[in-house]
Amino acid sequence: MTLGPIFEPRSIAVVGASSNPTKRGHQILRALGDSGYPGRVYAVSPKGGRLLGHEVYTSLEEMPEAADLAVICTPAATVPDLLRACGERGVAGAVVLAVGFGEAGPAGAELEARLRRVARKGGVRVVGPNTSGLLNLPLGVNLIGARGVRPGGIALLVQSGNIALDLMTQVTEGSRMGISICCGLGNEADVGFGEVLAFLGDHADTDAIVAHIEGCKDPRALLRAAASVTRRKPVVVIKSGRTSAGAHAALSHTGAIAGPYDRLRAGFAQAGVVEVTRTDELLPVAIALGSQPCGPSHAGVTILSDGGGQSTLAVDTLHEMEVPLAGLTAETSAALRTCLGPAAAVRTPVDVAGAADADPGVFARALEVIAADPSVGVVMVVGLFGGYGIRFSETLAEIEAEAARSMAALMRGRGKGLVVHSQYASHPSAALDAFREAHVPVIGSLEVACRAVAALQRRGASRVAWRPWGRDRTGPGAAAVPERPRGAGGESGAKAHSVIRAVRREDRITLAETESRELLAASGLPFEPLEIVHSADEAAAAAELIGGPVALKLLSRHITHKSDAGGVLLNVTGGDEARTAFESVAANARAYGSAHALPQEECSATVSPMLAAPVAELLVGACRDPQLGPVLTIGAGGIWVEVLRDAVHRVLPVAANEIEAALSDLKVKALLTGARGKEAVKPGAIVEAAAAVADCIMRWPDVAEVEVNPLFVYPERVVPVDARVVLRSKTGPSTMQPGRS
């Protein structure tokens, strides 16, 4: 069933209608009347009688028709039976307000599971439970009891009634925009964020979507929907539960377990979602994105101010956000000089330098010059505008207001964005009201205004290309990694398949290095040759055969981190040193195994030539996140992984160009671009190695985690030095974090 009967119902049954004004069953019945809901409303309560002008039916069966939507206002224990009655009566959807489900502990979780089973059996779609309700203001569907909220183009998806109320108040009091739909998802027992987001993407009355997320039951579905919706409409998210303490609090509120935040954050960016971390940024950013043109993709930001101090702070803030400033042409600067006089600054930031004190209309004339420059996509007005009539003379108020109307119309006509920072944002001002009437954001905080400008410029500069299912990517940057696992063919694929079967037969989940190499080689990752030895004499012979310094590394089915076990010796030269090295590694492995209660095994090792010092050491890995699915990780590698903690994540699948772009987010990127006179690295080989790692986890459903660490990076090539693969356990995917070799 589509969500139409829930968000656009032709009839609503209020189950648990009450004569008590403090009860939700009374408040919703009254709110539907006050909001002018045009559909049929049925009050349902065992008490019967009449209430607020409605006949009260004693049961759902007694109603003259099956309502599209039932709002269940009764305690948690009654909900499953009422949902069963909804299904039998033919009610399509239900909003369940009650608390006491998954967020309340094991007994509540079982009640929620029962709710889900009953609803699915009866074909009833459920919003909630533990929801603040639902609002569709253009249609008068007010199941929240909200008062004084203006209809408009902002949709809200929330998991907190207080946050919903706060956002609605901010929109109504701080702008001329309004609310289209507000939906409290609650525990997402059935209808979830992804499904509602997809609905809002097609909702004609919604221009921008704001989401507050605590714990999402299906973040993969959310990202899939967002990647589609953000092509047409902006989506702005604030995620609570970003820390371990916050995640625990979110669990107690919604019953949803939050996965690793850094992975979800990467997914938001891939899907084109604008994420903020401050509540005061949430609506200003959404209003800017929902009301303003983004400007051309190649364009930057220009600041138009009446004071150097604030404009300099704005430049600093935008620079820290990595927002490009527009380089005004010489012609533009010359025209600004003519317009503003000799004291003005006529390159970004443009400063009118007192010219507005007697005539604030100069802002409009300067903006007309700036807007014509092709390098400008967004303009940020900074300073006193809106306050000249207050600070200097009331006679300037109408001049300001006329300038504001002109500026708003000019920028909209040019298809370029405008954001106004004003010190007088909280004061009555005809000029600022004129901006608001034209849906130009007026923001009192300089930092928040910069955040809105940054979001506008970035949306104009890039459109989402990520396709979570990879079905229609063609041309340059075509998908390097398929979304769905593909059957491995050929001799290498058969070998890899036999490796997995053999490991499973031995009841292991951790592959030995040689086994891991087989799997990764089948996905296209080339390895340097090595010798496998089982005794000190064999190690000596291998070292003599290679003829130069070698690396001798423990080969074990049970010891994952060889360095921790004293299982890696480097720069071993000659047969005698190799013999001694093997004996040392064997002794270390036995001691480590005993200390960690690992099964004893005959010692084996690998012997391989020492490699030249690389330009950089990277870690390339992938894991199967329980909520997001396969995730690729690229970061600083070697033995300092946990210390440096320099890594980026991408939810799979990704294209080759997306992998290459991820490298620029690493702190060690300077090593790859020729730091301290070293030769720059060609990224293609790194991208191919990452694509092979990603392909391995996508190709083999048994694989829970893949890690190549370190990956030696040279100017023209990469060499995987060590590899580790972990299979899924019987209880679920591995939760191991990238670690040392």
Q: What is the pLDDT of residues 56-94, one digit of tens each?
A: 999 999 999 999 999 999 999 999 999 999 999 999 999
CA neighbor of 197 nearest in space, from 227, 173, 174: 227
| Residue 488 in this model has a pLDDT that exceeds 60 | no
pLDDT of the residue at 484:
38
**Does pLDDT of 737 surpass 70?**
no
User: Is the per-residue pLDDT at 255 higher than 60?
Assistant: no
SS3 of 563-596: the string is CCCCCEEEEECHHHHHHHHHHHHHHHHHHHHHHC
Residue 527 has pLDDT above 70, yes or no: yes
In this structure, are residues 699 and 485 in contact, taking their beta carbons and an 8 Å threshold?
yes
**Residue 733 confidence (pLDDT) above 90:** no
Q: How high is the pLDDT of residue 253?
A: 36
**Strands 376-382, 417-421: parallel, antiparallel or unpaired by DSSP?**
parallel
Say which residues have a Cβ less than 8 Å from residue 472's Cβ, sequence separation at least 6.
none
pLDDT at 84 (0 to 100): 98
Rounded to whole angstroms, the Cα distance separating 664 from 634 reads: 11
Check residue 676 and give its pLDDT.
72
Decide if pLDDT at 482 tops 60: no
* For residue 277, pLDDT beyond 70: yes
Q: What share of the chain in percent tops pLDDT 70?
A: 92
- Residue 673's pLDDT is what? 87
250 band by pLDDT with thresholds 50, 70 and 90: very low
Q: What is the pLDDT of residue 738?
A: 41
pLDDT, tens only, 369-382: 999 999 999 999 99
pLDDT at site 561: 82
pLDDT of residue 340: 94
Rounded to whole angstroms, the Cα distance separating 587 from 584 reads 5
Structure tokens given for 574: 């000659």
DSSP state of 143: S
pLDDT band at 256 (very low <50, low <70, confident <90, very high): very low
Choice among 242-246, 327-331, 428-432 with the minimum mean pLDDT: 242-246
Q: 670 pLDDT exceeds 90?
A: no
Confidence of residue 555 (pLDDT cuts 50, 70, 90): very high
Section 689-712 average pLDDT: 95
Q: Are 488 and 696 in contact (CB under 8 A)?
A: no
Which amino acid is it at 429?
S
Per residue in 338-351, pLDDT (tens digit) is 999 999 999 999 99
What's the pLDDT at 252?
A: 41
Q: Is the pLDDT of residue 249 over 70?
A: no
Residue 241's pLDDT is 66
Beta bridge partners of 617: 712
- Comparing 461 with 427, the larger pLDDT belongs to 427
Residue 662 has pLDDT above 80, yes or no: yes
SS3 state at 2 = coil
pLDDT at 132: 93
Q: What average pLDDT does this structure show over 493-516? A: 90
Pair of tokens at residue 579: 């013999």
User: What's the confidence (pLDDT) of residue 736?
Assistant: 40
* Mean pLDDT score, 424-435: 96
Instruction: Mention every residue, 6+ apart, whose C-beta is less than 8 A from residue 737.
Output: none
Q: Is the pLDDT of residue 686 over 80?
A: yes
Q: What 3 state SS string does 242-304 have?
A: CCHHHHHHHHHHHCCCCCCHHHHHHHHHHCCCEEECCHHHHHHHHHHHHHCCCCCCCCEEEEE
State how far the Cα of 582 lies from the Cα of 603, in Å rounded to an integer: 9
Higher pLDDT, 240 or 414: 414
- Please give the residue that has the higher pLDDT: either 422 or 215: 422
Average pLDDT over residues 241-245: 58
Read off the pLDDT of each residue in 461-486 and give the average, rounded to a whole number: 51
Q: In the prediction, which pLDDT does 372 show?
A: 97
Which band of pLDDT confidence, cut at 50, 70 and 90, is reported for residue 477? very low
pLDDT top residue among 668 and 452:
452
Nearest to 92 by CA among 31, 173, 5, 17: 5
CB burial of 316-331 (b: ≥16 within 10 Å; e: otherwise) equals: ebbeebebbbbebeee
Confidence (pTM):
0.87
pLDDT at 493: 79
Q: Backbone phi, then psi, for 595, in 5-degree steps?
A: -65, -30
What would the mean pLDDT of 9-34 be, rounded to a whole number? 96
- pLDDT at 474 (0 to 100): 31
Residue 601 Cα to chain centre, angstroms: 45
Q: At what angle do helices 536-546 and 574-595 cross, to 10 degrees?
A: 140
pLDDT, tens only, 604-659: 999 999 999 999 999 999 999 988 999 999 999 987 676 678 899 999 999 999 99
Q: Give the pLDDT band of residue 295 (cuts 50, 70, 90).
A: confident
Query: Which residue intervals of 506-571 are DSSP H helices?
Result: 513-522, 536-546
What is the rounded average pLDDT of the residues 464-491?
49
Share of the chain above pLDDT 90, in %: 79
How many helices (H) and strands (E) in the chain?
Answer: 25, 29
The C-alpha atoms of residue 644 and residue 73 are separated, in whole angstroms, by 52
Continuous segment of H or E residues that includes residue 208: strand 208-213
* Average pLDDT of span 8-14: 98
Over 90: is that where the pLDDT of 478 sits? no
Residue 489: pLDDT over 70: no
Go through the domains of the chain in sequence order and give each one's CATH number.
1-130 (3.40.50.720), 148-291 (3.40.50.261), 299-461 (3.40.50.261), 490-609 (3.30.1490.20), 616-727 (3.30.470.20)
Residue 473 pLDDT:
35
Q: If DSSP codes are grouped into helix, strand and coil, which group holds residue 629?
A: strand
Q: Report whether pLDDT(45) > 70.
A: yes
The span from the CA of 526 to the CA of 530, in Å, is: 12
List the beta bridge partners of residue 624: 630
Q: Is the pLDDT of residue 485 over 60?
A: no
pLDDT score for 243: 54
Angle 705-709-712 from CA coordinates, rounded to 5°? 140
Nearest to 489 by CA among 514, 524, 517: 524
What mean pLDDT is reported for the chain? 90
Assigned token pair, 78:
């009654």
What per-residue confidence (pLDDT) applies to 173?
Answer: 86
Is pLDDT above 50 for 593?
yes
The pLDDT-based confidence of 490 (bands split at 50, 70, 90) is: low
Do 382 and 421 form a contact (C-beta atoms < 8 A)? yes
Place of tokens 């200097």: 392
